[in-house]
Amino acid sequence: MNTHTKSHPIYKHYPVLGMHCAGCAHNVEQTVAKLPGVCESKVDFAAAMLHLQLEKESVLTDNDIRKAIRAIGFDLIIADEDEELMRKQEAAQKRERICLGIDLSIAWVGLLCSMLYMWIKGHEGTPGLVLAISLLVYLISGRRYIFSAIKQLRHAVFSMDTLIFFSTTASIIYAMVRLWLPGLQHTDAAIHLDGSTMILAFVLTGKWLETRATGKSRSAIRALMNLRPRTARRVQDNGEEQEVAVSQIRRGDLLRVLPGSEVPVDGEVVEGISSVDEQMITGEAVPAEKLAGSRVYAGTVNGPTADLLIRAELMGSDTILGGIIRTVREAEASKAPSMRLADKVIAVFVPVVLAIAVVTFLAWIFVGGTQIWSSALLSAIAVLVIACPCALGLATPTAVAVAVGKAAEEQILLRSAEALEELDKIDTFVFDKTGTLTIGRPTVRQESWFSEDPESDKLRALLYAIEQRSSHPLASALAQHLRNNRMGQLLPELGTLPAPIQEPGRGVSFVYRDKLYRIGSVDYCSELIEQPAPEMAMQGSQIYFARENEWLAAFVLSDLIPQSNIEAIAKLQELGKQVVLLSGDRQTEAERVAQLLSISEVKGELLPEDKLSYIAQLQEKGRKVAMVGDGINDTEAMSRANIGIAMGGGSDIAKEVAQITLMRQDLNLVVRAMEISGQSKRIIRQNLFWAMIYNVISIPIAAGLLYPVLHTVLKPGVAAAAMACSSVIVVMNSLRLRRL
């Protein structure tokens, strides 16, 4: 069990044991939803996970939940930490696979032995031996369905277990009656002594294939979990190092990260210089340089040359990686609109099938009389076996799981299945400018020196020395641009520098070697010089450098637009999407960026409420709007939009509001998310169509619709094989998304 809080509610996650179909998942979901203090209960059948939202004041304990689940034939795994949870779940799944394999083997051995015996001995053999084999397989391989169904029936709940229990039990009773009542042995159809064995063999085969396939659909969440180190090297107060479990690390502990090893927690570098591979967090292939004061993140990998001493700050689910895992898990657990429809069908599916089976039996007896009771019973059993709620229950969640995992692999975090479905409907994309369309920091795009001073290198060093003292973003960008390898040599030659005088909104001035210097706007510097300022060809923020009666240099700075963003906007427009730019920056700067991106609709100098109002107006016109932003000022608009998309480098509040987070500063991820959304919707529609059409066609055939033409009834074994295939087909179709 993993717990975390978001403002008021409490969120908990439990692996569930013993679920065999979507009906089982529905029963668990409804049972837990009735417990006091539960705000919302969701069960992900494909992942076998129960996701709860509890009231903050809820006194409901883990054991209370487990007791309720056990009463209807299932069980929960309870653990305090994610690592322990994963270990327990993997162990339980391994035991389940072993038990399933044993049951499957017994069923097939029993079936093959029965068929071989009947083939060798024919009618001269002892049918009682075949019946004994069938009874043995029923009690051993079918025990999981027997016990589960009986517990569920006590609480008036139904699932696929109920259908299998009734069908196999009816087959066994049918065989006994046919064998032990000689007067009925030759009334019509052949004796099906191995019917229950055949049903269990095919059902368990389908379950085994389904388990393997659905396991692949959850590969992304397992891969993310496996990124988290299990141990860390903690530095003791006496300087000794001890390897401990990550769960034992506490805030403030000093940890040694050896070359080539994974960073165990989020923290700060205390000592050492190294490069760290942060691709799993940032998507950047180039390792990031780390030194004292730098931030490091759990799951990233230290370079091969040097170790780092770090101070632990965030552990476990509180780390960046923990947040990613939580987001992916919640997205997989969320229910898309199509899944809600499937849930309504599943809720009544099993009772309806039971009713159809009874009607089928009675209809046969009514038409043909008691002399064809065996055909009536076989048809009723076939109806119970062939009906498949699993395919319907797996249709959406498996596709969602694969799509969410695929998106996560490509640095796209989807917070809900609804966002996955809705993204494909978006026809208007509204972008913030700074930090979204642009890189979010000013960069020097043009540099011109006008002075013929022979010591121009020293002037450059002087400008650098003054600008690096300023905290203004433009000054910092200019200082970074001016820095070169010779600064270490030139700065000492400048001697003592005076403190510059700040003039907000205009620039700075200082006196150096009896001359007055100014750095700032063209109007501010023009006050020192009679000649007009040299004009700069490029648009952007202009910084001039001047001294008494002399223009020294000028720089044009602007926020750069990555080439990838230019390509992304072009792709969106090719897809017929309307693209809008909304910015709080000057109208002229917003128009400059819009022109470079070929965006025709642009608004500048907007307050957050103006952006909100603009999106509301678009929605009133019937537009489906996605808002893409990175700052706190974008959160209102993102909340109002149909889909909010946040940049990974933006504010935490923006990422909390958004349904989708892009972990890289690359708007091509928006296009990629749309592709994944569109393909996943197609897969979901195909799955739902198959699940629906399968049951619509197969149940009437099992009931005997084709008997007047074929003069035979559908054997329960064939029905079981068809049911098994229907679920596997749905899962395998969902797995096609992995190749997208």
Distance in angstroms (rounded) separating the CA atoms of residues 331 and 445: 42
Q: Are 298 and 332 in contact (CB under 8 A)?
A: no
Active-site residue (options: 82, 432, 559, 634): 432
Distance in angstroms (rounded) separating the CA atoms of residues 657 and 21: 34
Give 475-491 as a 3 state SS string. Answer: HHHHHHHHCCCCHHHHH
Q: Check if 432 is active-site.
A: yes
- Unique residue bearing structure tokens 């054991």: 63
Question: In sequence order, which residues have a C-beta less than 8 Å from that of residue 464 and are 6 or more positions away?
Answer: 479, 482, 483, 487, 491
Reference 200, options 46, 385, 375; nearest CA is 385
N-to-C CA span, the chain: 33
Eight-state DSSP code of residue 264 = -
Question: In sequence order, which residues have a C-beta less than 8 Å from that of residue 607 and are 6 or more positions away?
Answer: 584, 633
Q: Is 37 exposed, middle or buried (0-12, 13-18, 19+ CB in 10 A)?
A: middle
Distance in angstroms (rounded) separating the CA atoms of residues 562 and 440: 10
Reference 211, options 300, 116, 127, 99; nearest CA is 99
Reference 690, options 721, 717, 728; nearest CA is 728
Q: Are 165 and 146 in contact (CB under 8 A)?
A: yes
Distance in angstroms (rounded) separating the CA atoms of residues 506 and 216: 61
Eight-state DSSP code of residue 8 = S
Distance in angstroms (rounded) separating the CA atoms of residues 171 and 218: 36
Distance in angstroms (rounded) separating the CA atoms of residues 493 and 513: 13
Residues serving a catalytic function are 432
